[in-house]
Amino acid sequence: MEVAISLFCFLAAVVPLIHTETTNCHIPAFVATEATAVLTGDNSLDIFGTILFTETNGLGAVTLTGTISNLTKGEHGFHIHAGGNIRDGCDGAGDHYNPDGYTHSGLNDAQRHAGDLGNIFANGKGIATVDIQDIAFTLNGEYSVVGRTLVVHQDPDDYGRGGESDSAKSGHSGKRIACGVIGISAEKRADA
């Protein structure tokens, strides 16, 4: 039935000569409720992982959960980068996602890049478990991160406080060792 109604709405909008009356067609909007980033190692590094982004109310807090494997033990900078073109490697992801123009900072700082997620910690087996909740970005609307890139860095993030030449821009986190584009994995009708 919905297909027939949608077809009618389409025809009524596209072929006005056939239907000359005003038609009030409701075309449902969809909102992302989940997104996924499948991470792979840059330059043939054997790093892999999957991070699930979940947003429960459409424009609220986003929870990131998942694991990343084959990392060196210790802390690694973890960021959302603005670009989504990584066909030639993680460097194609561009700078940190920063729609408000702030300097780099920590996850819990009031003014920071929206993509600043702090550090993840890899245990002795090289596995990092991710469980982060953030309100600086969404899966929908103006601050959506869908189509952007999640990146794991070689070194710890200094939260912009390290005094290095790149601290205020990238947290002096070192090279990008794994990345994955954030894509929609579940959605629902906005009016449901």
| CA–CA distance, 170 with 75 (Å, rounded to integer) | 15
* 5-41 residue pLDDT tens: 444 444 444 444 444 455 565 566 778 889 999 999 9
Read off the pLDDT of residues 152-173 as tens digits, 9 standing for 90 and up.
999 999 999 999 999 988 999 9
- From 76, 112, 172, 176, the catalytic residue: 176
Question: Would you state the pLDDT for residue 9?
Answer: 44
Residue 171: name the closest of 104, 93, 122 by CA.
Answer: 104
The 3-state DSSP class for residue 96 equals strand
Residue 182's nearest CA partner among 151, 148, 153 is 148
What's the pLDDT at 155? 97
Q: Domain boundaries in the chain?
A: 30-189
Report the pLDDT averaged over residues 56-70. 87
116 is catalytic: yes
Q: What are phi and psi of 170, to 5 degrees?
A: -135, 5
CA-based nearest residue to 133, from 37, 65, 67? 65
**Which among 76, 104, 148, 172 is annotated as catalytic?**
104
Does residue 4 surpass a pLDDT of 50? no
Helix (H) or strand (E) holding 2: helix 2-14
Q: State the pTM of this model.
A: 0.83
Give the CATH number of domain 30-189; options: 2.60.40.200, 1.10.3720.10, 3.30.590.10, 2.170.16.10.
Answer: 2.60.40.200
pLDDT value of position 44:
76
Give the three-class secondary structure for 70. Answer: coil
Predicted pLDDT of residue 1? 43
Active site residue 172: no
Band of the pLDDT at 188, cuts 50, 70, 90? confident
Q: What is the mean pLDDT of the chain?
A: 86
Instruction: Give 179 or 19, the one with higher predicted confidence.
Output: 179
Query: Of 81, 112, 148, 172, which is the active-site residue?
Result: 81
- Per the residue annotation, which of 42, 76, 112, 113 is the catalytic one? 113
Q: Does 19 participate in catalysis according to the annotation?
A: no
Q: Name the active-site residue from 42, 116, 134, 157.
A: 116
Residues 6+ away with beta carbon under 8 Å from 33: 54, 55, 56, 58, 139, 186, 187, 188
